[in-house]
Amino acid sequence: MDKDLSSDYIRKRKIKKIIRYLIVFAFFIILFLSFRAIINPSIKRSRIRTAFAEIGSIEGSITASGIVVPEFEQVITSPFTSTIDSVFHKAGDKIEFGEPILKLNNEFTMIAYNKLQDEYEMKINKKNQLKLNLERLLIDLRSEYEIMGLRIESLEAKVKAQEHIYEFGGGAKVNLDQAILHLKIAKLEQQQMGLKIENHEKSLQADLKELDLSIKIHENNIFELEKRLELAKAKSVRNGVITWVKDNIGENVNQGEIIARIADLDKFKIESKISDIHAAKLIVGNPIKARVNDIDLSGKISSIEPTIINGIITFFVELEDKTNEMLRSNLRVDVFVITSSKDNVVRVKNGPFINGSGKQDIFVIQGNKAIRRTVNIGATNFDYAEIENGVKEGEEVIISDMEDYIHYKELKIK
């Protein structure tokens, strides 16, 4: 016998059925909305940034990172191994030209210097003594040479006399021959004396030249030590500010070790770094713009480091306004190396929508829609991008990153 269904049971079945219908209905609503979004995609106005195309000039540039550094910095190093005797200034002190910062102990260097001075004076005395002795010898030899000349004149007179006597039959032939022989011997002796004098003169010049060379070496060594002793005073070569000083009195320092740094904090330059893929575009003299706290300062590349380290090129920028009040040591700035310049072009503010130069797709606002267009991007810099075709002056361009929507021909703007 069949039982009657309770009212609670019937009510629960109705509720379950209604819930199933609602789930199916919601599923179809979601499916419809998704299909509609695919067919007619949209984007909120608040999610995009736009800019209006305009006519103007543009400078093509590549971007480098930069840091402001003093135009002049003196690095003082220890001229020899020593210890710090005295410190006259601390970091941050202003200093004038020729003013000492610290003093190094120079005791051992002074000993070496005095020894060189003594050796130098000894060599000077040796040179003078050698020159005096050789000159005396040459004087004696030249006197003998002159005496030999007088003897030759006497012998020549005797030969003529013997020839005259022999010619008139008053003398023997042997006497004439003997006179001629004595004359020949005297001439040979004088000739030998002349060679001896010449050799002594050459020897004198060679010895003096050797001594002069040795003296010159000593002079250079003395001059070098004098320079080191002067450098040990650690003087500033111009007015500036001490940025760092080794100020521990009694501390050992090695030769070549940095003991102080002085900078001119009134004038600055920029040390810049950029990837070596841009090496061909970097030329000394190229114009640049340095962005310092939203202010652009003009300048040019003054020098390029010859070595590439880890794919990075370092170059230095000389600014036209080296004393601008915005410049501070160690301030980081953007440096734009200008590679080209164009006038009267269609340009738009730069943004993530740009993906290099050449042909690419962008979106242009028309009413409540964003229409995809294929354009050609020309010169670009940090501020602007040139659009060579596809966009006219006054048109509104989406400059946000639209990579996720680039496959749509158009978007609805909400």
What is the set of domains in the chain, with CATH numbers? 45-70+267-413 (2.40.30.170), 73-105+232-263 (2.40.50.100), 107-230 (1.10.287)
pLDDT of residue 1: 43
Q: How far apart are CA 264 and CA 346, in angstroms?
A: 44
Q: Is 103 helix (H, G, I), strand (E, B) or coil?
A: strand
The tokens for 238 are 């111009």
pLDDT of residue 272: 95
Reported confidence tier of residue 306, pLDDT bands at 50, 70, 90: very high
Could you tell me which of 226, 255, 230 has the C-alpha nearest to residue 113? 226
Which of 191-195, 285-289, 294-298 shows the lowest per-residue confidence on average (mean pLDDT)?
Answer: 191-195
What are the tens digits of pLDDT across the range 161-193? Answer: 777 777 776 667 777 778 788 888 888 888 888
Average confidence (pLDDT) over 5-32 = 70
Average confidence (pLDDT) over 63-87 = 89
Query: Are residues 268 and 327 in contact, defined by beta-carbon separation less than 8 angstroms?
Result: yes
Q: How far apart are CA 92 and CA 283, in angstroms?
A: 36
Residue with the bigger pLDDT between 12 and 183: it is 183
**Is the pLDDT at 125 greater than 60, yes or no?**
yes
**The pTM is what?**
0.56
Which residue is listed with tokens 């829609």? 369
Reported confidence tier of residue 39, pLDDT bands at 50, 70, 90: low
**Is the pLDDT at 32 greater than 60, yes or no?**
no
**Is the pLDDT at 38 greater than 70, yes or no?**
no
Reported confidence tier of residue 28, pLDDT bands at 50, 70, 90: low
Task: Provide, rounded to the nearest whole percent, the portion of the chain with pLDDT above 70.
Answer: 93
pLDDT of residue 119: 86
339: CB partners within 8 A, 6+ apart: 60, 61, 62, 281, 286
Average confidence (pLDDT) over 298-325 = 94
Q: How far apart are CA 233 and CA 78, in angstroms?
A: 10
Strand ordering across the sheet containing 252-253: 102-104, 82-87, 252-253
Average confidence (pLDDT) over 353-374 = 88
* Half-sphere CA count of 240, side-chain side, radius 13 A: 26
Average confidence (pLDDT) over 317-335 = 92
pLDDT of residue 225: 87
Q: Give, for 94, the enclosing helix (H) or strand (E).
A: strand 94-95
What are the tens digits of pLDDT across the range 216-254? Answer: 888 888 888 888 888 888 888 888 888 888 888 888 888
pLDDT of residue 23: 79
Query: Are residues 102 and 83 in contact, defined by beta-carbon separation less than 8 angstroms?
Result: no
Query: Are residues 363 and 397 in contact, defined by beta-carbon separation less than 8 angstroms?
Result: yes
pLDDT of residue 336: 93
Could you tell me which of 72, 69, 68 has the C-alpha nearest to residue 237? 72
Work out the number of other CB atoms within 10 angstroms of the CB of residue 350: 16
Q: How far apart are CA 213 and CA 368, in angstroms?
A: 93
Q: How far apart are CA 62 and CA 76, in angstroms?
A: 36
- Would you say the C-alpha torsion 49, 53, 54, 56 has a positive or negative sign? positive
pLDDT of residue 201: 78
Strands 384-389 and 369-380: antiparallel
